[in-house]
Amino acid sequence: MPASFKVIHHPARNYETLTADFGESAIGRVAPVDSGFWWIILLRAYTKSTGDTSLAELPECQRGMRLILSLCLSEGFDTFPTLLCADGCSMIDRRMGVYGYPIEIQAPFFMALRCALLLLKQDGEGKEFVERIVQRLHALSYHMRSYFWLDLKQLNDIYRYKTEEYSHTAVNKFNVMPDSLPDWVFDFMPSRGGYFIGNVSPARMDFRWFCLGNCVVILSSLATPEQAAAIMDLIEARWEELVGEMPLKICYPAIESHQWRIVTGCDPKNTRWSYHNGGSWPVLLWLLTAACIKTGRPQIARRAIELTESRLSKDHWPEYYDGKTGRYIGKQARKFQTWSIAGYLVAKMLFEDPSHLGMISLEDDKQMKHLVKRSASWNC
């Protein structure tokens, strides 16, 4: 599924054509993973909003979903049931050290699977995919809720991990070295709250906060109700770091100095607190607003929307903001960006009429039991 399209104008004949970009024109020449997921999610949103099932039932749309699913549900040499993904394959389309199993891919993957379950026809071909989706959803929900979740007690458990454990009863299943814990995470983690960390791979955990992934886990009900509430607690407790003066930090914290040179390849666009490296993206406002409404925290959304309204229009709708609190318009930010405008409009319309939430939110599936045995920071 292409990440973008280019409009080519033919002046001689006075007509235009669309050329799809499957990665061959992208920076780094990386093909997108998440665009196929968003297509399925938006197809379900359209169907839910209009009540029109004829589009999703078209043979072309059914085949499109099956092609995406056949690629993503295939077994491979990686950490099942998560989806292996290279750097640059998602909204974060440059090297940012997210290679492996980033939350930014796993969360939309989970949501797309749930949406496809609602859209696929129960015919011969569709039924086979439905069975595979159900099996993957159960495995993926347990894996993510168990191993990607971090709160104060879980952080303390990792701090005291034993290593080189070889058995089915091992606590430190991914052989994470306690010395790899970054200093900042101890100060960042509040006594009440938690979040899904950026990545879990053998011997490596990426403890960074990623906004899109943590909002989508709430909207897709990948997060349990208790985990969703804890994510909201964290946002409130760490408002200055995650929201600041312009919503919303795409990830936190920024990587800098030698680590920046190694991880990003000295990418001048991803210097600290800029672009994908801790920059603030107004488009993410709609995801935060939807998550706030779903968790019964409209006051958080109101505060973020008011911050956005104080500057975004006057600044001519830039793509992103720079600085530790999002004070400065991004050094290479394009203005009058469609997704900055659309993100604000969707947030505003959701806030004014929460009934729209059903288009982009899925209720908890009772069949996927909450098997999380981690700590419950929300009961502190």
The answer to whether 284 and 250 are in contact (CB under 8 A) is yes
Query: 8 exposed, middle or buried (CB, 10 Å; 0-12, 13-18, 19+)?
Result: exposed
At residue 374, does pLDDT exceed 80? no
Closest C-alpha to 305, from 257, 259, 350, 238: 350
At 76 the pLDDT is 77
Confidence of residue 370 (pLDDT cuts 50, 70, 90): low
Among 300, 297, 330, 298, CA closest to 312: 330
Per-residue model confidence as pLDDT tens digits over 127-185: 999 999 999 999 999 999 999 999 999 999 999 988 887 878 888 888 888 999 999 99
* Residue 374 in tokens: 């981690």
- What is the chain's percent helix, strand, coil content, to nearest 5? 45, 10, 40
DSSP 94: S
Banded model confidence at residue 380, pLDDT cuts 50, 70, 90: very low
Q: Which ranges constitute the DSSP H helices of 151-256?
A: 152-159, 183-188, 211-219, 225-237, 239-242
* Tally of CB atoms within 10 A around 219: 21
Contact 34, 106 (CB under 8 A): no
Owner of token pair 């297509």: 39
Contacts of 232 (CB under 8 A, 6+ apart): 193, 291, 292, 295, 297, 300
Does the pTM surpass 0.85? The reply is yes
Sorted by sequence, the CB contacts under 8 Å of residue 379 that are 6+ apart come out as none
Per-residue pLDDT of 270-312, as tens digits, reads 999 999 999 999 999 999 999 999 999 999 999 999 999 999 9
What Rg do the C-alpha atoms of the chain give, in angstroms? 21
What are the boundaries of each domain within the chain? 1-30, 40-210, 244-363
- What pLDDT score was predicted for residue 26? 79
Closest CA to 34 of 98, 97, 108: 108
pLDDT in tens, 85-143: 989 989 999 999 999 999 999 999 999 999 999 999 988 888 999 999 999 999 999 99
